[in-house]
Chain A
C-alpha cells in the first residue's frame, strides 16, 4: 500500500517569511502532484512533477521532486495572506493496465498572518 505523509499538518507563518512543506511517500513513483484547496472548494492543481529532479515554480511557490529519496517539497517564499489554504500532495503509481489512482497526504493547513 502506498502511503503519503505530509508535514507539518498545520502551519502558521508570518507574512514575508519562507517555509517548506514536506511530502514523503512509501513506494517508488515518479508522478507527484500538488494541489491547493480553499475552504468549501475543490482541488486546484498547482504542480505536476513527473521525473526525478523536477523543479517547478509559480509565483511564490516552488515544488521539487526527488524520487530516490521519495520526497517532494513545496517551498513558500515571502508568504502573503492569499496563500492561506490547505495544500495536498498526491502520488500516483498506476499503469495503463492496472489503472490510475491518486494517493493523497493528509494536507497541510497553512495560515499566513500579518
Chain B
C-alpha cells in the first residue's frame, strides 16, 4: 500500500519568489492536511482539505494557500517567499478514527 507522497523533497528558492508543493495521499483517503515545522515554532497546522474543500485553516498569512483536486491530491503554494518560510513542510492524509499518516516532507530553504 503506497504511503503519502510529497514532491519535491528539497527546494531552494530566493526571497520574493513563489513555490508550489505537492502531496498525494494514501489511496482512499480524502482528507489532506498540511503542517509547517521550524525549530522555533515547532509543528504548526496550515490547512486541511476534504473533497476539494478547505475545511480548516491555521493562523498563517494569506501568502500561504492550497487546493485539493478531485483525485484528492493536494498542492500548497507560498507566494512572495520570506526567509522565515524556510521550514519542513509536511503533508498528512487521514481517515476518521485511523489517525494521520505523514509524507516524507518537503524541505524548503529560502535564501
Contact = CB atoms under 8 A, between A and B. Distances in A.
A33 interface: yes
Contacts of B103: 42
Interface residues of B, number: 27
B66 interface: no
Contacts, number: 61
Interface in B7-46: 31, 33, 35, 42-45
Interface residues of A, number: 23
B65 interface: no
Query: Which of B42, B50, B54 has most A Cβ within 10 Å?
Result: B42
B48 to A, nearest CB: 5
B18 to A, nearest CB: 24
Given A99-B56, A107-B42, 7 more contacts: A41-B104, A48-B99, A94-B56, A100-B94, A102-B35, A102-B100, A107-B43
